[in-house]
Structure 1
Amino acid sequence: MNKDDQDPLAETPLSTERVFDGVLLKVSRDRVRLPDGGESVREYIRHPGAVVIVAVMPDGALIFERQFRYPLNRSFLELPAGKIDAGEDILDCAKRELREETGYVADVWQHLGVMHPCIGYSDERIEVFLATGLTHVGHQWDEGEFLEILTFSPSEATAAVLDGRITDSKTVTALFLAAPHLR
């Protein structure tokens, strides 16, 4: 479909109401016109976006974090990631998050793509980066941020996805996008 063509599945907003205006998340409720002319309601979350980094150690191991996630009341294995600040360049964000969370800086950065983790109820996008040529300089955790830093070989990471130890969608997607670069 040409970018100028109207998508026959598009829904047209008729009205918007801000339901919640939080520190991180903004929740809206829109009344929309459906493709068949009918009307419906759409509730969704506005999110500033984030980055995730596949950071490759000199020996080929990948840096992971173990972090408690309150909504699910448990810790998860994840790749380093973080929220994009207003007006922040995505590469600058990736560099900042890698340094703050893991204590590493990278000589080489490659943008691998973007993923949308919750398309049914959020506009969040997560930009995926590969970072190599790592040097440890010391982490700079945010106040109230608690992490364990671990490493896995690419094959150990794949096994952890397949056996259910890694279920975080940004991590699974980033590993998939990075796989051709890790062989």
Structure 2
Amino acid sequence: MTFVHHAFPNNAPIAAQDQHLVEQTLHQAEVFKGHFLHAFRDQVRLPNGDIATREYVIHPGAVMVIALLDDGRLVMERQYRYPMQQVMIEFPAGKLDPGEDRLACAQRELLEETGYRATEWAHAGVLHPVISYSTEFIDIWFARGLRLGERQLDQGEFLDVFSASVDELLAWSRDGQLTDAKTLTGLLWLQNHLSGAWPLRWQPAP
């Protein structure tokens, strides 16, 4: 089946000075549609006029939460990631439901996975973890004023929740124990926030 003019999520206008880099879509073919991922194989015209193939995955988007405990430690998770065949160290995160507000998703994921609610939230930014083959974006949120309750894990979801200091996370990153891309980006935000270089605008939880 062939599709034309497929709508990509989070499309931003291309600046005039970048037009010479743009690839033009000629045809789009659906390769796979699952419960979570949607894969396509497109034919594109390159800036020099040549024709090429692009294979990529449409992703619904996700959120990540950098949750600050009162003692300065961070709420972390250890979760088995099947494609990697490894238990990974990560900040709490999860995908957006259709039409879901991003802050509401961040609040939901933090509560479901860790049991924490936060009294204050701040939006940091967005990251694109796999730009070569996926439309995935991850919205980065900070949370503080944490209060612990009961976790509400999804069916079939298994993970450990623990706390770690910034120094521990940096050491694990240096030593290759922490390799998750979104968590490494979160650490960049965290370091710059703590130094005062990247201020945040905190708001009460709705």
Asked whether the two chains share a fold, i.e. TM above 0.5, the reply is: yes
Q: Who is 2:137 aligned against?
A: 125
What is the aligned counterpart of 2:122 among 73, 86, 110? 110
Q: Work out the CA distance in 2 between the residues paired with 1:167 and 1:120.
A: 18
Unmatched tracts of structure 1, length 5 or more: none
Deviation at 1:160, TM superposition (A): 1.0
Q: Who is 2:27 aligned against?
A: 15
Q: Work out the CA distance in 1 between the residues paired with 2:16 and 2:120.
A: 37
Aligned residue for 1:48, secondary structure, equals coil
Structure 1 runs (4+) greater than 4 angstroms displaced: none
Aligned residue for 1:8, secondary structure, equals helix
Alignment of 1:3-42 (within 5 A): 3=15, 7-42=19-54
> 1:60–1:153: 8 Å Cα contact kept in structure 2?
yes
Q: Work out the CA distance in 2 between the residues paired with 1:28 and 1:43.
A: 6
> 1:81–1:98: 8 Å Cα contact kept in structure 2?
yes
Q: Work out the CA distance in 1 between the residues paired with 2:162 and 2:194.
A: 18
2:197 aligned with 1:182, yes or no?
A: no
2:145 aligned with 1:147, yes or no?
A: no
2:86 aligned with 1:86, yes or no?
A: no
Aligned residue for 1:71, secondary structure, equals coil
Q: Work out the CA distance in 2 between the residues paired with 1:11 and 1:134.
A: 46
Q: Work out the CA distance in 2 between the residues paired with 1:26 and 1:51.
A: 19
CA shift in 2, pair 1:77/1:30, >3 Å: same
Q: Work out the CA distance in 2 between the residues paired with 1:148 and 1:72.
A: 17
User: Match for 2:122: what amino acid?
Assistant: Q
Deviation at 1:158, TM superposition (A): 1.0
Return the TM-score normalized by structure 2: 0.86
User: Match for 1:50: what amino acid?
Assistant: A
Q: Work out the CA distance in 2 between the residues paired with 1:88 and 1:107.
A: 20
> 1:112–1:178: 8 Å Cα contact kept in structure 2?
no
RMSD after superposition: 1.4
Deviation at 1:2, TM superposition (A): 7.7
Q: Work out the CA distance in 2 between the residues paired with 1:2 and 1:126.
A: 21
> 1:154–1:182: 8 Å Cα contact kept in structure 2?
no
Aligned residue for 2:126, secondary structure, equals strand
Deviation at 1:178, TM superposition (A): 1.8
Return the TM-score normalized by structure 1: 0.96
2:59 aligned with 1:47, yes or no?
A: yes
Aligned residue for 2:111, secondary structure, equals helix
